[in-house]
Structures are given as structure tokens and as C-alpha cells.
Amino acid sequence: MSPPRERLRIALQKSGRLADASRDLLARCGLKFRESRDKLFCFGESLAVDLLLVRDDDIPGLIAEGVCDLGIVGRNVLREQAFAIADGVDAAPYRELRALGFGRCRLALALPQGQGYAGPEGLAGLRIATSYPNLLADWLRRQRVDARVVVLSGSVEIAPRLGSADLICDLVASGATLAANQLREAAALLECEAVLAGPRALPADARGDLTELLLRRLDGVLQVRDSKLVLLHAPRAALAEIERILPQGQQPTVMPIEGSEDKVALQALCYGSVTWQHLEEMKRAGASQMLVMPVERMLI
């Protein structure tokens, strides 16, 4: 175990698919860092929260060892490593604290195009190439299927063509890599995205308080990330129709406009996008001075 610390330490991917979005998310939570010259350790200037920039594969272990308190990593990596560190995800010394909504992909079985898939039972005796041997073995165990797991650290999609495996189990997002290798998806084993991982129990010291503060800010950012704030003026009589047109969201706030008997101002937080079509429909219903604004954070 690492020596006691007062400052919270978060492990992030140094470079790769999650790196920029992870930094961006922490910036939105108000965290500012002084970049060190080697850029592997970043000192937190706004709060007592520092960053460690590492390979994503190392993040679960760093949390398990207590070297870092939190980490942002793909669910696939977090769960795969849980089998190396402990006896699977339920026994791991860490847990998923929040799903972060970026780095979405899935761990899936794929087989050569033209080959049929008759369900898990049909996999018995076949060779499956993967970089996720623990997750695959766990899935096969739960399906009660005896297949051979061939471990590859990358370029898994090439294995069937080389004859070293019959099918593969790898990450799929758009499906372009599968298509380029004449493979087709057969079954999804795990839906993945970046997650904030942390210890099962928060430390009973300043780091625990900082984690709670960060989680509250994170919730405030995640909750409204895809939301829009709509402001408009409308005749009171048109309000019901306008509220029907507005995309789903929170109950709008209606305010009087000084000097106007009939017209009111409406403020509405809408989840998801507010399109031109929405605006045009509301205009036809009587709305004017419509503004659609991005929402940065929310504290209720």
C-alpha cells in the first residue's frame, strides 16, 4: 500500500481515445492543473487534486494498490483487470462510481462473413482470439460453453484470416474494422464506455471529502451535458401549445414581462437537442425572441 496522502490523485489515460475527453470533463468540474515538464504528474491548482497520466491498462491496478484514489478508464479494461487483481468484478477492491458517456463501444464476438452463428452452444471446441481473455472466459463459463481462448494483444481482427482462430472477441464501435476484415458481429458480451472508478469505500479523510465534492460537480456536468436552455417570449394563451412542442425536459419557468399584459417569458431546460423544426413550430404557435443556449453545469 502507498504512504498516506492528503491530496486526491486521479489516474487518467496519458494519450489515446479517452485522454482528451477525460481532461475536458475534469476541466468542466473546475479542476485546473499545472503541467509538469514530463507531463506524467500534474499538480492541481484549484483543488487538492492531482493527476497521474498513464497507460489505461495500469489504471485499475493503481487504484487497487491505493497509488491513485480515482481513475477514468474503459469499463472493458476495469472489468478485465478485476480478474487479474481479484476474483472478478464483484471481488475487486474498486468499483464503478459513474458512467461518463464517452468512449462508447462494445465487446463483441465476430465471425467471418458468410458463416452462421447458432448461439453460444455452437462455439464449443472453437478457437476465439481476444485481448480480453478474462471477460471472454467468464462469459463462456456463464454460457457453459467450452471454447479455446487465444490471447492476442492487438490486431485481433486479422486472426481468422491467418487461421490462428475461428472467430474473435474484440471491441466494436462503428463496425468499420470488422467490415474491413470481412467479419460480422454475432453477439455483444459487454456494453462499454469510460467510467470513473474508485475504491469500494471512500477514505474517511480529506480525500473522501474531495471525492464527494468532485462527484457532486460531475453529476452537475453529466446531467446537463446534452441539455439546452431555451428562452422565449410568448402570448400566455400559446403556452400550452409551446410546452407541447418543446423537447422533453424540466418543468418550464414562466415569468411576467414588465409592461406587457399578455406576453410572458418562458425558460425551459430541455434534455437533448432543440432543432430548427422545434423553433419553427413554436414560432407558428406564437413564440418570439427564441434563444437556445448550451448548459455548462447545474447545481440544484
Ligand X SMILES: Nc1ncnc2c1ncn2[C@@H]1O[C@H](COP(=O)(O)OP(=O)(O)OP(=O)(O)O)[C@@H](O)[C@H]1O
Binding site for ligand PRP (CB under 6 A): 154, 157, 170-177
Please state the closest distance from residue 123 (CB atom) to ligand PRP, in A. Answer: 21
Encoded one letter per residue, x for contact with ligand X by CB under 6 A and - for no contact, window 116-155 reads ----------------------------------------
Please state the closest distance from residue 212 (CB atom) to Mg ion, in A. Answer: 29
- The answer to whether 57 contacts ligand X (rule: CB under 6 A) is yes
Encoded one letter per residue, x for contact with ligand X by CB under 6 A and - for no contact, window 227-266 reads ----------------------------------------
Q: Considering only residues 175-234, where is the footprint of ligand X by CB under 6 A? A: 192
- The answer to whether 173 contacts ligand X (rule: CB under 6 A) is yes
List the one residue from 34, 39, 55, 161 that touches ligand X (CB under 6 A).
55
Residue 16 vs 119, nearer CB to ligand X:
16
How does strand 33-35 pair with strand 41-44?
antiparallel
Place of cell 471525492: 211
Please state the closest distance from residue 35 (CB atom) to ligand X, in A. Answer: 19
Cα 69 from Cα 9, distance rounded (Å): 5
∠ Cα 215 171 103 (to 5°): 30
Cα 227 from Cα 269, distance rounded (Å): 7
Q: Residues of 213-251 as b/e, b for ≥16 C-beta within 10 angstroms? A: ebbebbbbbbbbbebbbbebebeeebbeebbebbeebee
Which residue intervals of the chain are DSSP H helices?
19-28, 59-64, 75-85, 133-143, 159-162, 176-180, 206-224, 239-245, 276-285
List the one residue from 44, 103, 160, 198 that touches ligand X (CB under 6 A).
103
How does strand 194-199 pair with strand 167-172?
unpaired
- The answer to whether 10 contacts ligand X (rule: CB under 6 A) is no
Please state the closest distance from residue 157 (CB atom) to ligand PRP, in A. Answer: 6
List the one residue from 171, 189, 214, 290 that touches ligand X (CB under 6 A).
171
List the one residue from 105, 111, 246, 287 that touches ligand X (CB under 6 A).
105
222 grid coordinates: 453529466
Burial class (CB in 10 A: 0-12, 13-18, 19+), 274: buried
